[in-house]
């Protein structure tokens, strides 16, 4: 692709984005500024991305962590994190999502004060780059809002300097009743400025003030930030809360066409700098809306599979997989060049909006009640009609799976491993939260200290204490890390677990969840079968139709599957990965 063709493509994106916005400068000027900011110059070669290419394979696992999830005395936490990775995850994890590591004022990093520097309490850019040398670095682009304590917002109040025109304002007289909100706080923040009282738009909290992307300076600033992160080693960009980016009063202000076009523009610019860099959109919204962020393989490379956590937890606490099965059957295969980002735990809670339309109100209510019985907290949002509805469940995944709707039981670890085995085998790229890898329980002390429900799943481990627990064969942490690491190593060796390999949902009974994967070259088949109940289950071999000319082995136990047997017996929460080839 020539520079001119790329230039015309960028300009076309801008024509769509700013079609209804009066601009101070020409689109041609903006096009040139964007390309120059990204480092794309007329006299240099332009990288040519290959259409529908997969820049990932079965070897890719992403660990999600805060920069200070593990600390060791006065050592910089990012240095400690690197030591932890090299000691406990070197052979399993090859990508690391370090949650916002910038100076911030609230929301554990997602209220960014300064996008261009590393929080001194964590370390430095040198520490980030050291991790990026050995692991694929996934970094957040907190693109919808920044901190009300930022220099930009100070300049907005003063009416001068960079940021003085960066923020979206509304009018209390406007009808904002249909604006989609993830929080119950007032949408508008009354702010006294040099130019009088203004009402700043705050989708999340009054410390998180929303940008106004109608101003091209905001777009240019974020392209500059993206270029900086690329130079520091970023290989994966997570676009945080991007669904709310563009606002038009009188609409619901979510998933607007201009938002999608901004993502396409960002992708166009990034992939012509380095085609292997991928974009993941963090859009915690109902499933059908979430799927639109793939575009036509020209928008997000990957989307968070937000419906998976609530559906899988619901499956394992009820012992019934009918909702999970229906959802999986409805999911379109991700075309080459796109992939699902699968996760079942994160720094946030178990989102319930993505379960809307998949679980009925009664099922959601029972799930919420069960999680509360297991020590979970509930965060709320305002519905379109002003009612409060549960937005997410705040609980560690380990404690969420301590029992069933009947109460806690002895199967906690087996149920927890079963959940990860289901996720690891599915179509898509797996993401594993550090506290799942470590089998961390609810941190009630941190909740009490911060007053924030989400703190329950954001424990900060002392490295020496953690080492002692991980080295003790009797601790839950050792058992979880050992078993998860084994599953990950098995997964990484199997071509049929490529994120884009064929997937087909099996029709077994409601206590057995199963799907079939086939490698891209069609040589390897794996039948992934999980007992999601607390009772033994039996399946007929004829139900999964193993080809008689192949030799079949369960990759988890290394046991041969005798085709002469009429059935298979599964213990509670047992998982089988039955394959015609073993590559480990």
- Which residues are identified as catalytic? 240
Task: Check: CB of residue 6 under 8 Å from CB of residue 258.
Answer: no
Chain-centroid distance, C-alpha 9 = 29
**C-alpha to C-alpha distance for 572 and 140, rounded to whole angstroms:** 39
Rounded to whole angstroms, what are the CA distances from 28 to 2, 15, 504? 17, 10, 48
How large is the greatest C-alpha to C-alpha distance in the chain, in angstroms? 83
Burial bucket for residue 28 (CB in 10 Å: 0-12, 13-18, 19+): exposed
Give binding residues for substrate as ranges.
Answer: 107, 145, 238-240, 347-348, 454
Alpha helices in 70-205 (DSSP H): 77-88, 125-134, 151-158
Q: List all residues 6 or more positions away from 12 whose beta carbon is below 8 Å from its beta carbon.
A: none
Q: List all residues 6 or more positions away from 231 whose beta carbon is below 8 Å from its beta carbon.
A: none
Task: Check: CB of residue 430 under 8 Å from CB of residue 62.
Answer: yes
Strand partners, 97: 64, 138
Look at strands 234-240 and 278-281 and give their pairing.
parallel
Strand partners, 64: 97, 433
Three-class HEC string of 36-63: HHCCCCCCCCCCCCCCCCCCCCCCCCEE
Q: List all residues 6 or more positions away from 552 whose beta carbon is below 8 Å from its beta carbon.
A: 546, 560, 561, 563, 578, 579, 580
Q: Which of 165, 153, 267 is nearest to 217 (CA)?
A: 165
**Within 10 Å of residue 51's Cβ, how many Cβ atoms?**
9
């Amino acid at each position: 692709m020539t520079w001119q063709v790329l230039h015309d493509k960028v300009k076309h994106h801008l024509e769509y984005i700013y079609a209804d916005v009066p601009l101070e400068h020409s689109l041609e000027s903006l096009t040139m500024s964007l390309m120059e900011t990204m480092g794309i110059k007329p006299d240099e070669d332009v990288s040519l991305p290959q259409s529908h290419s997969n820049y990932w394979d079965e070897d890719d696992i992403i660990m999600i962590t805060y920069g200070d999830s593990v600390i060791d005395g006065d050592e910089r936490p990012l240095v400690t994190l690197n030591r932890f990775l090299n000691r406990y995850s070197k052979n399993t994890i090859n990508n690391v999502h370090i949650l916002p590591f910038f100076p911030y004022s609230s929301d554990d990093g997602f209220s960014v004060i300064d996008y261009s520097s590393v929080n001194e309490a964590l370390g430095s850019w040198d520490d980030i780059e050291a991790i990026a040398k050995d692991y694929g670095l996934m970094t957040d682009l907190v693109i919808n809002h920044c901190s009300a304590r930022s220099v930009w917002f100070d300049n907005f109040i003063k009416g001068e300097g960079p940021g003085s025109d960066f923020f979206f304002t509304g009018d209390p007289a406007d009808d904002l009743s249909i604006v989609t909100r993830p929080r119950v706080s007032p949408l508008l923040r009354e702010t006294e400025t040099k130019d009088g009282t203004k009402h700043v738009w705050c989708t999340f909290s009054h410390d998180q003030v929303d940008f106004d992307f109608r101003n091209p300076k905001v777009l240019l600033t974020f392209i500059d930030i993206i270029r900086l992160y690329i130079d520091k080693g970023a290989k994966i960009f997570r676009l945080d809360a991007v669904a709310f980016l563009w606002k038009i009063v009188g609409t619901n202000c979510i998933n607007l066409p201009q938002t999608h076009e901004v993502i396409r523009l960002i992708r166009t610019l990034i992939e012509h700098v380095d085609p292997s860099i991928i974009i993941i959109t963090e859009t915690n919204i109902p499933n059908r809306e979430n799927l639109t962020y793939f575009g036509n393989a020209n928008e997000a490379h990957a989307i968070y599979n937000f419906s998976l956590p609530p559906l899988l937890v619901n499956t394992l606490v009820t012992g019934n997989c009918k909702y999970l099965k229906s959802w999986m059957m409805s999911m379109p295969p991700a075309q080459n060049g796109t992939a699902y980002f699968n996760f079942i735990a994160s720094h946030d809670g178990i989102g319930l909006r993505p379960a809307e339309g998949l679980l009925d109100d009664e099922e959601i209510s029972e799930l919420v009640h069960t999680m509360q019985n297991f020590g979970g907290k509930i965060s709320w949002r305002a519905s379109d009609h002003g009612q409060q509805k549960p937005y997410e469940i705040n609980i560690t995944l380990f404690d969420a799976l301590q029992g069933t709707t009947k109460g806690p039981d002895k199967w906690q670890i087996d149920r927890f491993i079963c959940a990860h085995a289901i996720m690891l085998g599915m179509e898509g790229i797996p993401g594993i939260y550090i506290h799942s890898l470590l089998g961390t329980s609810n941190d009630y002390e941190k909740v009490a200290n911060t007053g924030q429900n989400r703190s329950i799943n954001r424990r900060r481990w002392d490295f020496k204490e953690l080492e002692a627990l991980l080295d003790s064969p009797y601790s839950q942490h050792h058992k979880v890390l050992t078993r998860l690491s084994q599953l990950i190593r098995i997964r990484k060796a199997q071509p049929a677990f490529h994120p884009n390999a064929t997937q087909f949902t099996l029709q077994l009974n409601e206590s057995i969840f199963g799907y079939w994967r086939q490698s891209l070259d069609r040589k390897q088949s794996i039948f992934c079968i999980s007992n999601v109940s607390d009772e033994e289950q039996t399946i007929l071999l004829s139900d999964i139709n193993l080809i008689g000319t192949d030799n079949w082995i369960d990759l988890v136990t290394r046991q041969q599957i005798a085709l002469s047997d009429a059935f298979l017996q599964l213990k509670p929460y047992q998982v089988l990965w039955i394959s015609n080839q073993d590559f480990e």
